[in-house]
Amino acid sequence: MENNQELLIKLDDFEGPLDLLLHLIKETKMDIQEVPMLIIVDQYLQFIRSMTHLQLDIAGEYLVMAATLLEIKSRLLLPRVDTIEIETEEYEEDLQDELIRQLIEYQQFKEVASALREKEDERGQFFAKEPTNLELLQENIPLKEGEVSLDDMIRAFQKMFQKQLQKQPLHARIEMDQVSVEETMLRIVDTLSKTSREVPIIDFIDSKQSLIATFLAMLELAKEKRVYFKQGTLHDMIYLYAGENIQQEEWYDYKGEENE
């Protein structure tokens, strides 16, 4: 590395000696495990000497790394004695392998940090909605005259079901048939399409399963304006009658998917 290149590198640009080493390796455009160790050692030591020459304060961790690299360099250059050659090679390999391992881990850390910064920048492009103050909302919305709440309808259904059970023989065997909401919706629409009169909802309820299915079917059909319902008072019978969309050709099942 030439002197003018050394002066372009500032110590403040790096987060530590590993960051500096990683930068020097990237300058060679080689893989961490393939770059010649002597080249990187020389470049690092030249950088440290240039900083010392400029009388700049150098953090101790940079000097510790310099000492480690000097030891690696000296063992790479010094001639080996045959009797201790194997032991020396193993020590050098351990020292270099440990340094390479640290460099690889540090590189992975920087890549993850970079990815997280990108995610943070992307998130910064979105603006969150300000929290809505719900204190001003009433827990119970006042009903108009003649209107009934969902709780009122549930209680009315429960009362109708109890009356229906009382009509059954005490020892009757009840078959637990599965009743779907979709089938009940079709049954209600089919019945109301053939009459102009109001039909009591109890006509569609003959079991506990059908009670739940009828209740959900009524709400779904009312939402689509296929069926309307009315109830005189809280404890009166609920009556169903055809809505303006009762003859609508498109049909949607309870889950919102179109049936062919």
Supply the DSSP string of 69-133, one letter for each residue: HHHHHHHHHSPPPGGGHHHHHHHHHHHHHHHHHHHHHHHHHHHHHHHHHHHHHHHTTS-PPPPP-
Question: Who's near 199: CB < 8 A, 6+ residues apart?
Answer: 191, 192, 239, 240, 241
Q: What is the pLDDT of residue 93?
A: 62
Q: What is the pLDDT of residue 4?
A: 39
Residue 198 corresponds to which amino acid? E
Q: What is the pLDDT of residue 6?
A: 42
Residue 86: count other Cβ atoms within 10 Å of its Cβ. 10
Q: What is the pLDDT of residue 177?
A: 59
Domains present along the chain, CATH in parentheses: 3-123 (no CATH), 150-242 (1.10.10.580)
For tokens 């890549």, name the residue: 111
Q: What is the per-residue pLDDT across 85-118, written as a single tens digit (0 to 9) for each?
A: 545 555 556 777 888 888 888 888 888 888 888 8
Q: What is the pLDDT of residue 231?
A: 77
Q: Among candidates 50, 49, 8, which has minimal Cα distance to 27?
A: 8
Q: What is the pLDDT of residue 205?
A: 81
Does an H or E element contain 227, and which? strand 227-231
- Rounded to two decimals, the pTM is 0.38
Cβ(207)–Cβ(187) under 8 Å? Answer: no
Question: pLDDT tens per residue, the chain (260 residues)?
Answer: 444 344 345 566 677 888 888 888 888 888 877 778 888 888 888 887 777 665 555 667 777 888 888 887 777 776 655 544 545 555 556 777 888 888 888 888 888 888 888 888 887 777 767 777 666 555 555 555 555 566 666 677 677 666 666 665 544 555 555 778 888 889 889 998 888 888 988 888 877 677 788 888 888 888 888 888 887 776 678 888 888 888 876 655 545 444 54
Q: What is the pLDDT of residue 1?
A: 43
Q: What is the pLDDT of residue 51?
A: 74
Please report, to the nearest 10 degrees, the dihedral formed by the alpha carbons of residues 162, 164, 170, 173 taken in order.
Answer: -110
